[in-house]
Amino acid sequence: MESARIPVGRTEAPDYLVEVRPGLLGDLGDALARHGIRSRVIVCSTPTVWRVVAPQLPPPLRISDPILLPDGERYKGLSAVSRTYDALVRAGADRGTTVVAIGGGVLGDTAGFAAATFLRGLPLVHVPTTLLAQVDSAIGGKVGVNHALGKNLIGAFHPPRAVLVDPDVLATLPRREFRAGLYEVVKYAVIASRPLFDLLAGRLREVFARTPDVLVPVIAECCGIKARVVTADERETGLRRILNFGHTIGHAIEAVTRYRRFRHGEAVALGMVAAAHLAARRGRLAATDRDALASLVTAMGPLPPAADLNGGDLLDAIRRDKKVVDGQLHFVLPDALGVVNVVTDVTEGELARALADIGVRTSR
């Protein structure tokens, strides 16, 4: 597979496309035009990403004056959004200006939230540069920032006009960042595709080598899974909740460590393993599938230690999770590799036991 074009359906606006194509960055101006973006654009990026991608862009974009925001989950807050507003005002942005977010998930979420709220909404295009953003965060229209007490508590739905994915840019991604994105690929495998899980387990070396004939289909399949889920449930009232597999505990881990120790995907990896243990203990998931998931996560590389985390603090963070609705926590449990369901009856005792399964201290 050399390229893919994946439609994402919307209920109240035109559909948009996720375009996956190696070398797309060098053709970005024409790509924007193909997706109907012909007016003024303002690029948002980070200093690190801009140094890498700017030489690959066509001249009009390469010589543009981008809005550069600090990278890292700890900077994903309202202060970065305010900086973006200031820059948009200074640049004279109006409602015909399109924000082009070139960067990872943090940059896309932050710039996307600024685009959603400046002048009550500017057009947005995502050009994700990390694996995690390419397969997950850039697709589906969720934008937002963190609060000190919880992950992504401040946000909006603001679907992009297009998502333009160039797998070639992943060649410069540090191994840890690439691995963090792979954990989200594992998530998609567990929720919807046993064949994808088997591919990862069987060809992990080639995936890490970023071999194009392996990596492009993996990215396209993840994008296709998310597109189908989002098309069926744009506002996360039902089916879309399955995309939160591993995220309830993962978000809590990020919050209690102040977004400094764990990459997002790393925290999600621990959350997936904990959820698998919980599901197996309930008799929903075969022990062989639980062990296969845990083995794949282990084979992908080391995770930051969780032994010094406090289970009580994590449970407090879970209570504040945005997936709590009317006091009920919606928790995603696997029934098999490729099949998950959302339940609302997970107890704190079960959560504490699952946290202990991943090495977390469960006493205050």
Distance of alpha carbon 359 from alpha carbon 364, whole angstroms: 14
- Asked about 236 being catalytic, the answer comes back as yes
Beta strands in the chain (DSSP E): 4-8, 16-20, 41-45, 67-68, 98-103, 124-128, 142-147, 150-157, 162-165, 324-325, 328-329, 331-336, 339-343
The C-alpha angle with vertex 198 and arms to 192 and 204, in degrees rounded to 5, equals 120
Which candidate in 151, 241, 251, 284 is catalytic?
251
- Asked about 247 being catalytic, the answer comes back as yes
Which candidate in 73, 177, 184, 221 is catalytic?
184
- Spatial CB neighbours of 126, under 8 Å, sequence gap ≥ 6: 101, 108, 112, 133, 138, 139, 160, 162, 163, 164
Which candidate in 21, 142, 179, 284 is catalytic?
142
- Asked about 187 being catalytic, the answer comes back as no
> Going by DSSP bridges, is the β-strand pair 41-45/98-103 parallel, antiparallel, or unpaired?
parallel
- Spatial CB neighbours of 323, under 8 Å, sequence gap ≥ 6: 241, 244, 247, 248, 329, 330, 331
- Asked about 184 being catalytic, the answer comes back as yes
- Asked about 35 being catalytic, the answer comes back as no
Which candidate in 21, 226, 241, 263 is catalytic?
226
- Asked about 264 being catalytic, the answer comes back as yes
- Spatial CB neighbours of 333, under 8 Å, sequence gap ≥ 6: 275, 278, 279, 282, 284, 285, 340, 341, 342, 343, 346
Which candidate in 161, 247, 277, 330 is catalytic?
247
Which candidate in 19, 177, 221, 236 is catalytic?
236
Q: Are 100 and 44 in contact (CB under 8 A)?
A: yes
DSSP letter (8 states) at residue 257: T
Which candidate in 126, 244, 266, 290 is catalytic?
244
Q: Are 57 and 202 in contact (CB under 8 A)?
A: no
Torsion of CA 41, 230, 251, 182, to 10 degrees: -80
- Asked about 19 being catalytic, the answer comes back as no
- Asked about 120 being catalytic, the answer comes back as yes
Distance of alpha carbon 200 from alpha carbon 66, whole angstroms: 37
Amino acid code (one letter) for 215: L
What is the three-class DSSP state of 335? strand
Q: Are 358 and 273 in contact (CB under 8 A)?
A: yes
Which candidate in 264, 277, 290, 330 is catalytic?
264
Catalytic residue numbers, as ranges:
120, 142, 184, 226, 236, 240, 244, 247, 251, 264
